[in-house]
């Protein structure tokens, strides 16, 4: 107890009182992210960092006192990656919201870790530039959190994930020192790619305080949406596999099933079609005749795969409305009860089989599983819903979760496509990585964080 009080007293000495939260309500609120089923502890304190110096000072204190540091952005994670552990300080970067530079000539933006993804997109759009990664939480998640989990999004099937755009960063290391990694040039191969190593490391190797993001020109795209309504998940999965086999790379290819459609429409009244089992939302953005030909090919493949109806849309507002349904699916389902979220990724050709296995798992374990997916890259998000307070249903849901992970690996997939390992995926990660590769992870962790100060127990199994 005395040691804990000393840590808190030192935090209050270093920082303003409004930056250090110790009341029970705040500690409980910051103890976990959106992964309701992941374990968490009540932290010693929550620090609201406003400058890189704050981050450095907190990490130095933790290293000296034996406390742990759990970095946190907006807390929108779905794997428990920012959940507090015993004897930890939750270090929130949500107040670090400066866009430091937009360099139009070199096409990059420099932003602090607490800047919201959509704020970055809006800021660079005013300069005719585009930051593509767009997780469903893009309006509420931070760039730092996106970097920590290597977040993807709807358009990543064609334009890539966060790691593809992070070319540099500033990082507070486990001893409190600050380093600059990466570059601001079009290319560069000096030394190991430590920037890429930090992306997706879930705050276990360093605390990212500032990132340099490569950008694309905003113009030169002409969006067309193709929406197929299917009588079964498997038929929609066949369409996904056939679109891939045809060599088509859509700008987006998203799947939502009946449970999701009805939950979103009941909440937001978007006028979505009811009575269909699964909707497949495709988007192509090639210009002119090439775009029209590609859209026609996607529509034809959907029809051949068994789509009940196939509709086309070119109006920007209509396209946004349709894809908004996909983005709102998770919060809409949360209104139905606690959600255990999967984040598996399988080879695209295995999507039909994986969807069939998910349905079989739902039936075998008597649970409700709603399906949303970045289907174009095989990243599936089965959402297992258990009624509030129903412990038997929760136990069945956990069994279904584990079965889905096993099936994913059996089909050549990976246990997390974009949410990160956090705490929820540690068992699956252990099976996927194997002892030798886990030892490699441990060696890197030991080299950069020998005291285990930064987010211990996350990202890889010990």
Strands 129-130 and 216-217 come out as: antiparallel
> Which residues of the chain carry a pLDDT beneath 50?
1
Q: Residue 6: how many CB atoms within 10 A of its CB?
A: 13
Cα distance between residue 442 and residue 460, in whole Å: 8
Output the CATH code of domain 99-217.
Answer: 3.30.465.10
**What pLDDT sits at residue 36?**
80
CA angle 153, 374, 137 (to 5 degrees): 35
Query: Looking up tokens 């970067």, which residue turns up?
Result: 93
Asked if 122 contacts 97 with a C-beta cutoff of 8 angstroms, the reply is no
Instruction: Tell me which residue of 223, 336, 334, 227 sits closest to 272, measured CA to CA.
Output: 227
Q: Spell out the domain ranges in the chain.
A: 2-92, 99-217, 220-335, 337-422
**What pLDDT sits at residue 270?**
83
pLDDT digits (tens, 9 = 90+) for 230-269: 999 999 999 999 999 999 999 999 999 999 999 998 999 8
End-to-end CA distance of the chain: 28
Phi then psi for residue 47, to 5 deg, are -110, 130
Cα distance between residue 368 and residue 18, in whole Å: 43
Indicate the class that CATH gives domain 2-92.
alpha beta
Phi then psi for residue 307, to 5 deg, are -60, 135
DSSP 304-367: HTT-SEEEEE--HHHHHHHHHHHHTHHHHHHTTS-EEE--EE--GGGHHHHHHHHHHHHHHHT-
Helix or strand run (H / E) with residue 110: strand 108-112
Asked if 93 contacts 73 with a C-beta cutoff of 8 angstroms, the reply is yes
- Is residue 406 classed exposed, middle or buried when 0-12, 13-18 and 19+ CB atoms within 10 A define those classes? middle
pTM of the model: 0.94
Output the CATH code of domain 337-422.
Answer: 3.30.70.2740
Instruction: Tell me which residue of 423, 417, 438, 455 sits closest to 150, measured CA to CA.
Output: 417
Phi then psi for residue 374, to 5 deg, are -85, 75
Sign for the pseudo-dihedral over CA of 130, 136, 141, 143:
negative
Q: Which two tokens stand for residue 104?
A: 């139009």
**What pLDDT sits at residue 292?**
97
**What pLDDT sits at residue 128?**
98
Asked if 325 contacts 256 with a C-beta cutoff of 8 angstroms, the reply is yes
**What pLDDT sits at residue 2?**
55
Instruction: Tell me which residue of 285, 291, 256, 254 sits closest to 273, measured CA to CA.
Output: 256
Whether 220-335 shares its CATH topology with 337-422 is answered yes
Question: Which residues, in sequence order, are CB contacts of 338 under 8 Å at separation 6+?
Answer: 36, 37, 385, 386, 388, 394
Beta strand segments in 153-264, E: 166-172, 178-182, 207-214, 216-217, 224-230, 252-257
The secondary structure of residue 34, as a DSSP letter, is: S
- Is residue 332 classed exposed, middle or buried when 0-12, 13-18 and 19+ CB atoms within 10 A define those classes? buried
- CATH fit for domain 220-335, picks 1.10.3720.10, 3.30.70.2190, 3.40.50.2000, 1.20.1260.10: 3.30.70.2190
């Amino acid at each position: 107890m005395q040691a804990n009080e000393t840590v808190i007293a030192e935090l209050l000495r270093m920082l303003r009182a409004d930056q250090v939260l110790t009341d029970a309500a705040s500690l409980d609120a910051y103890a976990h992210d959106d992964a309701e089923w992941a374990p968490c502890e009540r932290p010693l304190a929550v620090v609201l960092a406003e400058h890189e110096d704050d981050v450095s000072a907190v990490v130095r204190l933790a290293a000296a006192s034996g406390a742990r540091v759990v970095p946190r952005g907006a807390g929108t994670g779905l794997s428990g990656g920012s959940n507090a552990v015993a004897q930890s300080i939750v270090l929130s970067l949500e107040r670090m919201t400066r866009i430091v530079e937009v360099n139009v000539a070199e096409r990059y933006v420099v932003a602090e870790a607490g800047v919201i993804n959509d704020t970055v997109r809006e800021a660079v759009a005013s300069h005719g530039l585009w930051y593509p990664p767009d997780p469903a939480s893009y309006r509420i998640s931070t760039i730092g959190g996106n970097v920590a989990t290597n977040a993807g999004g709807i358009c990543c099937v064609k334009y890539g994930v966060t790691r593809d755009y992070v070319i540099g960063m500033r990082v507070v290391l486990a001893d409190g020192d600050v380093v600059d990694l990466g570059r601001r040039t079009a290319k560069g191969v000096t030394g190991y790619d430590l920037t890429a190593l930090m992306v997706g490391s879930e705050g276990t190797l360093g605390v990212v305080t500032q990132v340099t993001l490569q950008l694309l020109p905003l113009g030169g795209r002409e969006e067309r949406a193709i929406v197929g309504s299917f009588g079964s998940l498997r038929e929609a999965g066949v369409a996904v596999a056939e679109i891939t086999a045809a060599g088509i790379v859509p700008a987006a290819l998203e799947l939502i099933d009946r449970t999701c459609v009805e939950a979103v429409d009941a909440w937001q009244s978007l006028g979505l079609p009811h009575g269909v089992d699964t909707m497949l939302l495709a988007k192509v953005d090639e210009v002119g005749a090439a775009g029209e030909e590609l859209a026609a090919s996607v529509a034809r493949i959907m029809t051949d795969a068994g789509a009940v109806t196939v509709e086309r849309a070119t109006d920007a507002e209509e396209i946004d409305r349709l894809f908004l349904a996909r983005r709102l699916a998770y919060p809409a389902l949360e209104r139905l009860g606690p959600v255990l979220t999967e984040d598996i990724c399988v080879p695209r050709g295995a999507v039909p089989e994986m969807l069939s296995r998910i349905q079989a798992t739902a039936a075998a374990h008597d649970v409700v599983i709603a399906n949303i997916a970045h289907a174009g890259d095989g990243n599936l998000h089965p959402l297992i819903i258990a009624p509030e307070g129903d412990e038997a249903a929760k136990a069945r849901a956990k069994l279904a979760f584990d079965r889905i992970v096993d099936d994913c690996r059996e089909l050549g997939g990976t246990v997390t496509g974009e949410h990160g390992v956090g705490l929820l995926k540690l068992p699956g990660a252990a099976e996927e990585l194997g002892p030798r590769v886990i030892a490699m992870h441990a060696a890197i962790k030991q080299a950069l964080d020998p005291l285990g100060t930064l987010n211990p127990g996350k990202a890889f199994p010990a």
